[in-house]
Amino acid sequence: MANGREESQDRCRSEPKRLEEHHNPVIVVDGTDIAELVGNEAAFGSYVDHKFQELDRDGDGKLSVEELEPAIADIGAAIGLPAQGSSPDSDHIYYEVLNEFTHGKREAVTKTDFKEVLSDILLGMAAGLQRDPVVILRIDGEDLREFLFGLRFEPEAIAIFSEINQENVPLRKSIMMALERLGVGHGMPPLSDSWVFDSIIQPAMSHLPVEDLGGAVSQETFLTELKNILGSVARGLKDRPVIVAHSENNFDGSGINRLLSNTFELEKLLDMAWKELPKKTDHKASKEYLRVALDGIASSAGLPPYGAISQVDAVVNEALRTLNADDGRRMREGEFKKLMTEILGTIRLQLEMNPISVSANSVVHEPLAASSSTLLPPPAPAGEDASSKPLPPPSSKVYFAHICMHPVHVRMHALRKEKMEEKMP
């Protein structure tokens, strides 16, 4: 058991262990502001009025599919999707969002519908952010300098070197490999971002020969060069700080645990899930639909939607296989509920033994000139002392990591279900 935990921590060892210990200004985006806006009847009403008027270009009191386009594009931008038409995966989400507005009919939308769907989308985002807040970090070289001149540097650098050295790599490549092993926890911005790479990393490495001549680098040269380059990266970051949106998702079975210990909620969810399954005249449903049913209650069980995180998918698949849930037979309601509970229990056990941790860092580029056109209110700093230096409000990219894991339509559907449940006696 302990072994599994260690492995999973090891996988994200380059991530900050305790973000609050960073002395850089930190903002936590947890969806509170969005939820407050939507929850404030008057404010949200006038917000919708204004937005609707802006979108209804021909002034007929309805939004045609064409007039909805800018709103859909805004939502796409707010959740960090690439522009429409650039990828089939994201276009699918655009399509889903449009369908939410038009109820799949591609007809003009009234203000009431518009308000309802917009509120669902925003609350869906808020719920996702509340569950997994995004932390906005300002990386300005201070943490990197602290790492460089602190006690951690030498042992960590030597450990990295011995790992790299097994492959006998030359100087430039070994430095690149070392930089890739350092993360936000060391005060390094994500190298995968092309702006960071071109503007911060490349200039710091410019004194190294472009072509790696000679053979494997010695430990001494490696340590000296790494120190030089990190010092130079820290200076670069001081002049051009990088804003990073950091999010972490832990799947450790605790969500399933909560659900399983609340028999009332569990029963309600399973009732709903059963009702939605297609059945034959004998009132039996095929086991093929177990996966769909499971996906439907995923958010209530603290699980990502199926297909979002492969490690979690593997755990789910294994649970279904172990319980013969994919034998294609048909089941009655009682059997369905029993099986679902067993599947959840198996997934919980597996996640408790081997928790899965996923983290994402994305660089926030635009200083939000575009925020006036976006559908989201700008978040405020978390706590007064959290921002000694003013931070630009986070841009659309902030939401990117989330949406990868919780596609907006999945969350909206989960929310709809909650609403339906509330209405139920």
Write the binding mask 201 to 230 for Ca ion: x where contact by CB under 5 A, - elsewhere: ------------------------------
Residue identified by tokens 């670069």 is: 236
Nearer to Ca ion, 70 or 381 (CB): 70
Distances (CA, A) of 348 to 21, 43, 140, 255, 351: 31, 41, 40, 8, 5
Closest to Ca ion by CB, 6 or 107 = 107
Q: Given the complex with Ca ion, which of 15 and 67 has the nearer CB atom?
A: 67
Q: Taking the complex as a whole, how short is the minimal distance between the CB of residue 63 and Ca ion, in angstroms?
A: 6
Question: Is 116 exposed, middle or buried (CB count within 10 Å of its CB: 0-12, 13-18, 19+)?
Answer: middle
DSSP character string of 84-140: TTS-HHHHHHHHHHHHHHHTTS---B-HHHHHHHHHHHHHHHHHHHHHSPEEEEEE-
> Least distance in Å: CB of 60 to Ca ion?
4
Which segment (54-62, 144-152, 156-164, 192-200) binds Ca ion by CB under 5 A? 54-62
- Our CB check for Ca ion shows the closer of 66 and 267 to be 66
Contacts (Cβ under 8 Å, ≥6 apart) of 270: 297, 336, 337, 340, 341
Helix H segments across 240-377? 254-261, 263-276, 290-296, 310-322, 333-353
Comparison of 9 and 110: residue with beta carbon closer to Ca ion: 110
206 vs 87: CA distance, rounded Å: 35
- Of 58-66, 116-124, 279-287, 379-387, the segment contacting Ca ion by CB under 5 A is 58-66
Closest distance of CB 71 from Ca ion, Å? 12
CA 209 to chain centre: 38
Q: Which stretch binds Ca ion (CB under 5 A): 13-21, 48-56, 87-95, 315-323?
A: 48-56
Q: Which is nearer to Ca ion, 60 or 107 (CB)?
A: 60
Contacts of 86 (CB under 8 A, 6+ apart): none
Smallest distance, Ca ion to C-beta of residue 122, A: 22
- What does the alpha-carbon distance between residue 329 and residue 318 come to, in Å, rounded to a whole number? 18
Q: Which helix (H) or strand (E) holds 243?
A: strand 242-251
Q: Which amino acid is at 302?
A: G
Report which of 365, 416, 421, 352 is spatially closest to residue 393, judged by C-alpha positions: 365
Task: Considering the complex, state which of residue 58 and residue 326 has its C-beta at the smaller distance from Ca ion.
Answer: 58
Shortest CB 45 distance to Ca ion, Å:
20
366 contributes a contact to Ca ion by CB under 5 A: no
| Angle separating helix axes 88-102 and 111-131, nearest 10 degrees | 130
Helix (H) or strand (E) holding 2: helix 2-11
Shortest approach of Ca ion to residue 66 CB, angstroms?
9
Which DSSP helix (H) or strand (E) runs through 27? strand 26-29
Binding segment toward Ca ion, per CB under 5 A, in 52-60, 139-147, 276-284, 301-309 = 52-60
58 binds Ca ion (CB under 5 A): yes
Q: In whole angstroms, how far apart are CA 41 and each of 28, 111, 128, 214?
A: 25, 15, 21, 69
Bridge-partner residues for 28, per DSSP? 135
Closer Cβ to Ca ion, 59 or 214, answer by number: 59
Nearer to Ca ion, 101 or 222 (CB): 101
Q: 109 or 290, CB closer to Ca ion? A: 109
By beta-carbon proximity to Ca ion, the closer residue of 13 and 103 is 103
Contact code string over 61-90 relative to Ca ion, x by CB under 5 A: -x----x-----------------------
DSSP string, 322-344: HTTTTS--EE-HHHHHHHHHHHH
Q: Is residue 60 part of the contact set for Ca ion (CB under 5 A)?
A: yes
**Which of 30, 56, 100, 140 lies at the binding interface for Ca ion (CB under 5 A)?**
56
Under rule CB under 5 A, how many of the chain's residues touch Ca ion?
5
Shortest approach of Ca ion to residue 54 CB, angstroms? 11
Considering the rule CB under 5 A, would residue 52 count as an interface residue with Ca ion?
A: no
Distance CA 243, CA 335 (A): 51
Candidate segments 51-59, 81-89, 109-117, 185-193, binder of Ca ion by CB under 5 A:
51-59
Counting contacts by CB under 5 A, is residue 107 touching Ca ion?
no
Question: Smallest distance from the beta carbon of 62 to Ca ion, in angstroms?
Answer: 5
| Contact by Cβ (8 Å): 325, 255 | no
Binding site residues, Ca ion, CB under 5 A: 56, 58, 60, 62, 67
